[in-house]
Structure 1
């Protein structure tokens, strides 16, 4: 029996995933959580074979949770299941140690097959997304540039971003300028939008 942990902040989606998986004779859901901060404690308690994680959740995101599971529950393999098919998310998830990445609009049988493949030590990735990730390339942004762009995405002037991040106005302008060049954007908000769409933030 393959023991599965399901983490998704949307209760309806989470309930649907649990129902689909529990119909399979060789799968059983041993834990379900709706918040990223609950993933590691639930995994330590239930010792799942596979964790099915969403990327965007309250608290810890799915990619950070993947890294945590690798170190604290090494026997658990991770399959990312998300609505956000962004090349940057795919690349970051795989770099964090995920064994698979599948989109929520995949047919149920594809999801079930992906769980079985991941449990067997294989990879299970959306082929279109893998190709897009190769075409897009690696994330060109530094950690500080990502931090500035995340703040820009929420809105605000360079001065407001500088105050929020405890940086000088000039430093923020330099990071924005660098990010604009790396993303071929027209301005800071455009750079933030492009980076977000690629999953680089």
Structure 2
């Protein structure tokens, strides 16, 4: 009989944690060795324990999955992460792959799809929906206008839309228009993701 695969689970929703744990245990190929509601607790268990595979939501109460992925990549442990999220944003799978994630699965997919993804990853394969890999190596700041670059710096300093409007002498609607274009070019869905990308690449940006 093939040895069952140990996994760890992290998600902000207790119902999701319970459902995933039951799904994996009932499947017979997996053993859930821990469920966590925070990225910090998940990382501690993954990086300091014997389990090699974890499945996490994109937004945890204390951090996002991209922060978890960076910590795992920086640890040099080779632990494998699958991101399981209900977020519809198309840029997330690319971000997961770029940060060394081994798999991505949407919560809109049937549960069996996640199990198949975990099996593939446990066997050393990566499992993602279609991604244009050329986009992984493109410079997200290359197409920004000077005004958009200034707005991004303002966001990183915690400025509100009203403060930005007053600073640049433009209307609130114009600020929203520029931010919408900025988010589209950076392939992010909100200011938190834009700022995270800016902080990660600040040295190149300047």
Query: 4+ runs of 1 displaced by more than 3 Å?
Result: 133-139, 141-152, 190-194
**Distance in structure 2 (CA, Å) of the matches to 1:82 and 1:3:** 20
How is 1:1-201 mapped onto 2 (pairs within 5 angstroms)? 1-72=4-75, 74-127=77-130, 130=131, 138=138, 140-141=140-141, 146=152, 148-149=154-155, 151=158, 155-158=161-164, 169=167, 173=168, 187-193=174-180, 195=183, 198-199=187-188, 201=194
Query: Cα deviation per residue 1:3-41 (whole Å; 9 max; x = unaligned)?
Result: 111111111112111111111212011121112222211
The CA RMSD measured in Å over matched residues stands at 3.3
Greater length-normalized contact order (CA 8 Å, ≥ 6 residues apart): 1
The change in CA–CA distance for 1:62 and 1:116 in structure 2 (over 3 A counts) is same
**Distance in structure 1 (CA, Å) of the matches to 2:98 and 2:164:** 32
Q: For structure 2, list consecutive stretches of 5 or more residues without a partner in the other structure.
A: 143-148, 195-206
The change in CA–CA distance for 1:19 and 1:134 in structure 2 (over 3 A counts) is farther
**Distance in structure 2 (CA, Å) of the matches to 1:111 and 1:135:** 25
Give the alignment's TM-score, normalised by structure 1: 0.71
Query: Cα deviation per residue 1:131-184 (whole Å; 9 max; x = unaligned)?
Result: 6x86899562489865644646x6442179xxxxxxxx5xxx5xxx9xxxxxxx
Q: For structure 1, list consecutive stretches of 5 or more residues without a partner in the other structure.
A: 161-168, 178-185
**Distance in structure 1 (CA, Å) of the matches to 2:150 and 2:47:** 33
Q: CA deviation at 1:88?
A: 2.2
Q: CA deviation at 1:187?
A: 3.3
- Number of corresponding residues: 175
Q: Show the counterpart of 2:204.
A: none
